Amino acid sequence: MRRHRPSSRRQAGATLIEVLVSVVVLAIGLLGAAGLQSSALRNNQSSYERTQMTVLAQGMLDAMRNNLAGVDAASYQKTSWTCTAPTGSGLPTADVARWINDLKTQINSSACGQINCTGRNCTVGIRWDDSLGTAGSTALIFSIASRL
C-alpha cells in the first residue's frame, strides 16, 4: 500500500481575509458597546437631575408648611421664573434663596424656580436644561402641587 502525501496546497490555518473579517466584526461590536455605555451615562445624569428636582420641590413645600404665616401673607409667591436667589430679610426670602441656590448646585446652573399659591393651594415649579439627556430637550419643566 502506498500512502498519500498531503498536498502542499493544503490550508494550514486561518487566512488573512478570515482574520480581517473577524477583526471588523469585533470592532463593530465594541463600537456598539461604547455607544450603549455613552447613552447609559447620559440617561443616568438626567435621572439624577430629575430625582434631585423632586426632592428639592418637596423640600420647598415642606419649608412653606413650616411657615404658614408667610404663605398666608404671599411672601413665598414667585409667579415668574426666578433664576437668581432673592436678597432681603425674613424667613420666606431666606427659604427661597436657599432653594434657588440648591437648584443651581444640585440640578444644574440653568435651573429656575417658580412658586404660585392661591390661598394654601401651592404649586412649586422647576425649569432646567436637560440637553445632556438622551432626549436632548433643552427646557424641561416639572411642577408639584400641594395643599399646605
Model confidence band, residue 132 (pLDDT cutoffs 50, 70, 90):
low
pLDDT of residue 142: 85
What is the arrangement of strands in the sheet containing 112-118, beginning at the earlier edge strand? 78-82, 112-118, 121-128, 140-147
To the question of pTM greater than 0.75 for the whole model, the response is no
Does 1 map to a domain?
Answer: no
Integer Cα distance of 64 and 94 in angstroms: 11
Model confidence band, residue 38 (pLDDT cutoffs 50, 70, 90):
confident
| Site of grid cell 498536498 | 7
Does 91 map to a domain?
Answer: yes
State which residues form the domain around 135. 47-147
Judge contact between 106 and 56, C-beta under 8 A: yes
Integer Cα distance of 106 and 121 in angstroms: 26
Arithmetic mean of pLDDT, 114-137: 82
The answer, yes or no, to whether residue 85 has pLDDT greater than 60, is: yes
Does 122 map to a domain?
Answer: yes
∠ Cα 70 72 74 (to 5°): 70
Does 97 map to a domain?
Answer: yes
Mean pLDDT (the chain, rounded): 86
C-alpha cell at 21: 473579517
pLDDT of residue 81: 93
What is the domain count for the chain? 1
Does 29 map to a domain?
Answer: no
